[in-house]
Structure 1
Amino acid sequence: MLRNHILKTAFFVLAMLVCTIGIGQDFSQDNYYVTLLRLQGEVDDDRASWQAIEQEFFDKVIKKNKYIVGHEMLVDTFDERLSEVLIVNIYKDWNDIELARKRTMELIEEGWPDEKERAAYFEKQNRNFSLYYSNQIMTTTKNVKIRDREKDDRTKPLTFYLVFNKLVDNPDDDLINAYEDYLQFVTFKDPNIRSYQAYRHFFGPDSRDFLEVYVTDSYDDLLNSFELDKALLMQMFPDEKEREDFIEIYNAGVVQEEGKVYENIPAQSKYLE
């Protein structure tokens, strides 16, 4: 979890209907259900064509589905071929996932009333991705830094740094306190980090899953945040030995981590109200 390491849809409709989430959105309650759908891309068209296909689905379905209260589509910042895409939605209630699925089917028929045109659209959409995908359902936690969305430039994508953690079994109070202290005295004080949200496992193959999402205005701001975090940590623990002891405790809570950088597509963002 401690970020002291080096920065190391088109989508299948049926998969999306079963399991869809919201990431980088701003909410402080811990009863939102969050599902993460990771797709492997095989984009043959240029990115503008792919984005136009997805924009049509967003406008006709996602935007109009009241049960999906937040949505992001995240793409790999450094990969023009879109080899990985994350579909993101937020649900206020567990039952809303099923209600959203039913409403999505209705909106698909409304958006493409002609059966042949509907089939042609989804054939065109689905060809951009392989059959492989992974998904899981998570829930929000109390650990959040809320972004002031009035400062957003909606014409430019935001940078999302996602850290996929595997936690130790039964973390003790020392580990939890170290994590929350780091948030309070480092992450939340770093102006480069516009928002932070942590997600805990709810349904999926591994109950140790713990996802952290850092949102910045740009990739440069993300890099700057790493440097400032080091300085803030030194302010938190001026004594080197105390600092090293803290880091050791903090890092002991994680057995595995993977950090990846994405950007969103502003025109396909649906904010939680």
Structure 2
Amino acid sequence: MKTINRFFVVLAIALLLSNTSTIAQEQTRPEFVTITTMHWNMDNKDFKMEDWKAVEKEFLDKITMKNEYIAASSFYLHRMTPDNTEVVYVQSYPSWEAIGEAAKRNAELAKTAWPDENARKAFFKKRDAYYSPMHSDEIYATMPNAKTMTAKPTKDMICYVRKGHFAYGEGADEEFDATSKEYFDNVTNKNEFVKAYYPMAHAWGSDRTEFLEAFFFDSMADLESMFDRDTELFEAHWKDEASRKSMGEKGAKYFDNRHGDYIYTYVAGLAK
């Protein structure tokens, strides 16, 4: 049942991206998310985590918090991923145009924060020294049925990311919309271990089949407890084997069999 249940956590949201009328109605939700995967500069022999946090906090306070085009931002550190050098930086925007405007606004705010050019260059040189020159960027479109954080976290959290892939085959949007909403309302949204849940789908990047689900937890223990609780909620709503099988057959049309799992630490003090 855990395998079936995890499949339906994937099923719950993904193809709702195609329902543009639904997206247009949700004006309060940012439209796009940029995910920049950076890497630590492993040659930085003077690295201290608290010093890095202080530098990024200064940038957050002087630039990001004052940039009206950036709806939110956050940092994520490797916990259980294939690459321990990863530093993931996530920003969300109210529109596609805001992505470009945010970059221009950052440059303006930097000049205001450090009017002296030498001081400004010194700060960014210090900031850049923490990272390798190599990084990658992806842009995702946000999707309906997110479970949003009730309050800004005051401590680090666990962020579990599930990366899946669409199978562009048969299936009707109406069927998927109804099925996915039913699952979200009765399982994901009711699971008390899941403090927040954000689904998003590829908008610009290397793989158009890609979609992500980001789950937030207070602890690793709560992440593990989510699976058992999902099963309980799933069986409470779909009470017989026939109805569970029917859900599985509907959902199988929309996805291929690939997925990846990643666990990060959300850095509470560096978030907008």
TM-score w.r.t. the length of structure 1 is 0.78
Q: Does the 8 Å CA contact 1:42/1:82 hold for their aligned counterparts?
A: no
Structure 1's 214 and 148: CA in aligned 2 closer, same or farther, altered over 3 A? same
| 1:23-62 Cα shifts (integer Å, max 9, x gaps) | xxxx875662211111122354121122122112111111
Please state how far the C-alpha of 1:117 moved relative to its aligned partner.
Answer: 2.8
Please state how far the C-alpha of 1:193 moved relative to its aligned partner.
Answer: 0.9
Letter in structure 2 aligned against 1:202:
A
Question: How far apart, in 1, do the equivalents of 2:27 and 2:200 lie?
Answer: 11
Letter in structure 2 aligned against 1:41:
W
Q: Does the 8 Å CA contact 1:164/1:211 hold for their aligned counterparts?
A: yes
Query: Secondary structure of the equivalent of 2:161?
Result: strand
Question: How far apart, in 2, do the equivalents of 1:239 and 1:225 lie?
Answer: 22
Question: How far apart, in 1, do the equivalents of 2:27 and 2:86 lie?
Answer: 28
Structure 1's 94 and 4: CA in aligned 2 closer, same or farther, altered over 3 A? closer
Q: Does the 8 Å CA contact 1:70/1:89 hold for their aligned counterparts?
A: yes
Query: Secondary structure of the equivalent of 2:192?
Result: coil
In the TM superposition, 1:54-203 aligns within 5 A as: 54-77=56-79, 83-149=85-151, 154=154, 156-170=155-169, 172-173=171-172, 177-203=178-204
| 1:56-112 Cα shifts (integer Å, max 9, x gaps) | 211111111111121111112358x96112111121122222221111011122223
Question: How far apart, in 2, do the equivalents of 1:93 and 1:110 lie?
Answer: 25
Question: How far apart, in 1, do the equivalents of 2:60 and 2:54 lie?
Answer: 10
Q: If each structure's helix is expressed as a fraction of its own residues, which one has the higher value?
A: 2
Q: Does the 8 Å CA contact 1:28/1:143 hold for their aligned counterparts?
A: no
Question: How far apart, in 2, do the equivalents of 1:168 and 1:209 lie?
Answer: 10
Query: Secondary structure of the equivalent of 1:131?
Result: coil
Question: How far apart, in 2, do the equivalents of 1:31 and 1:56 lie?
Answer: 25
Answer yes or no: is 1:222 the counterpart of 2:220.
Answer: no
Answer yes or no: is 1:42 the counterpart of 2:44.
Answer: no
Query: Secondary structure of the equivalent of 1:63?
Result: helix
In the TM superposition, 1:238-257 aligns within 5 A as: 238-240=239-241, 242-244=243-245, 246-247=247-248, 249-255=250-256, 256-257=258-259
Gaps of 5+ in 1: 6-26
TM-score w.r.t. the length of structure 2 is 0.78
Answer yes or no: is 1:209 the counterpart of 2:182.
Answer: no
Structure 1's 28 and 160: CA in aligned 2 closer, same or farther, altered over 3 A? farther
Please state how far the C-alpha of 1:228 moved relative to its aligned partner.
Answer: 0.7
> Which residue in 2 is equivalent to 1:237?
238
Letter in structure 2 aligned against 1:179:
S
Identity in percent:
26
| 1:126-155 Cα shifts (integer Å, max 9, x gaps) | 232223222122221112123321xx551x
| Number of aligned residue pairs | 245
Structure 1's 115 and 265: CA in aligned 2 closer, same or farther, altered over 3 A? same
Query: Secondary structure of the equivalent of 1:36?
Result: strand
Query: Secondary structure of the equivalent of 1:198?
Result: strand
CA RMSD of aligned residues (A): 2.7
Please state how far the C-alpha of 1:165 moved relative to its aligned partner.
Answer: 1.6
